[in-house]
Amino acid sequence: MVTDTLAARRLGAPFWRFWTSAAAVNVADGIRAAALPLIAASVSDNAFGVALITACQQGAWLVFGLGAGLVADRYPPARVVAAADALRVVMLSALLVVLLLDAVTIPLLAGTAFVIGVAETFRDTASHSILPRLVTEAQLERANGRLIGTEIVGNEFIGPLLGALLFAAAVSVPVAVDATALLIAAVLVLTLPKAASTVAVERPDGKRPPLRTELLGGVRWLLGNPRLAAVTCSGAAICFADSAWWSVLVVYSGNVLGLPEAGFGLLLAAGAVGGTAGALGAERLAERFAPHTVLVTGTLLSGLPAVVIALSDSPYVAAAMLAVSSGGFALWNVVALSTRQREAPREVLGRVTGTHRIVLYGSGMVGALAGGAIADALTLTAPFHVAGALVTVAAAGLLVVFLRERGTTP
C-alpha cells in the first residue's frame, strides 16, 4: 500500500528531464535579466535606453500572447519549446559576435531583447501544454510546485548573481553562458517522450476555422468558464496590486525604512525565499483543502502583507511580509496553473494560457504605472493600502463564483 502510494507520487524520469531543461532556462533568464541592463549601461548612460531593454522583453507578451497560444495548440509543444530556445541561442550568438567586435548599440540591444522576448512568449506558453502530457492530473500541483520553485530560484537568485559576476569577468561571458544553457535546455526537451509532441486531433473534414476565430478561441473558452475566468480575474488583481506597491518599494525602503541599497537587495531576497517556500508547499495544501480555498488564501496573502508594511517602519517586519506576500502569490500561481491544465481541453489549452498571461502581464504593467501615480498624488504608502483593498475584493469575488458553481449559497 505504501509502495503504491510512493509510486503514484513519483514524477518519473521524463518529468525530471523536463525539469532540468526548465532549470537551465530559468538560470539563463536570470543571467540575461542582470547582464542585458549592465551591457546597456556600459554602452549608454541614458536611463530610458536601459529601461527600454527590459520593456522590449516584457512587451512581447502583449503582442504575441494569443499567437503563441495558437501555435502551442496547432503544433507539437515540445518542438515549439525547442525551436524557441534555438532562436534565442541564435540571437545571443549574434549578440556575442557584436560584443566581441565592440559594435553593440542600444537599438541593437533593444531589437535583440524583443526577439528573445517573443521566443520566450512562445516557449513559456507551449511548456505549460507539455506538463499535463508527462504527469497525471493528481500530480499537477506537485510538478508545478517544483517547476515554479525552480523558476524563482533561477530567475531571482542564482541567475542574476551569476549574470553580475560573469559580467564583471568580461562583457561577453554572460551572453555565452546564457546561450549555452539554452542550447542544453533545447536538447533536453527533444529527448522527451512522444506524448510531449502530440497535437490535438484535426477536424474530420480537414478544414480549419478562420484565423481570427482560432486566435480568439482561448478568449471565448475562458469567458464561457466562470471558474477559470474568475481565477484569471483574481490573477489580474494580484498582478495590478503587486506591481503597484513593488513599483515604489525601493523608494519606501530608502525613505521610510532607512535601508541602503544592499538592504533593499536583502528585502528582495526575503521575497524570493517566501516565493520558493510557497511554491513547494502548494502541493500539501492542495491535498488538504479545496482549490478555491487555496486560491482565495493565496490571493489574500499576496496583498494584505503590503498593508502591514505600510503601517510599520520596521525593516524586519517588511522582510517578513515580503516573504509572506511572495509565498501567497506562488501558492496562488501553482494552484491556478494546475486548475487550468486540469480543466481546459488540450486542444485549446495553449490559447487559454496565452489569454490568461496577456491579462496578467497587462494588468501588471498598468499597476506599476498606477502605483507611481498614486504615490505622487497621495502618499508613498497609498499603493500599499490600495493593494490590500484590491486583493480583498478579488478574493471575495473568487469565493462567490466558486461557491455558485458548486450550487452553494455563500
Give per-10-residue mean pLDDT for the chain (410 aa).
Answer: 49 92 94 85 73 72 85 89 96 95 90 92 90 89 91 85 86 94 95 77 60 79 91 94 84 83 76 90 89 94 94 91 93 93 88 89 84 87 93 94 70
Q: Are 135 and 4 in contact (CB under 8 A)?
A: no
Structural domains of the chain sorted by starting position, each given as residue range(s) with its CATH number in brackets:
2-197 (1.20.1250.20), 211-405 (1.20.1250.20)
* CA–CA gap between residue 338 and residue 141 (Å, rounded): 6
Using the CB atoms, write b or e for 116-148: b if 16+ within 10 Å: bbbbbbbbbbbbbbbbbbbbeeebbbbbbbbbb
Confidence at residue 7, expressed as pLDDT on a 0 to 100 scale:
46
Cβ count within 10 A of residue 331: 29
Q: Are 333 and 148 in contact (CB under 8 A)?
A: yes
3-class secondary structure per residue, 321-365? HHHHHHHHHHHHHHHHHHHHHHHCCCCCHHHHHHHHHHHHHHHHH
From the list 161, 183, 167, the residue with the least C-alpha distance to 35 is 167
Cβ count within 10 A of residue 5: 9
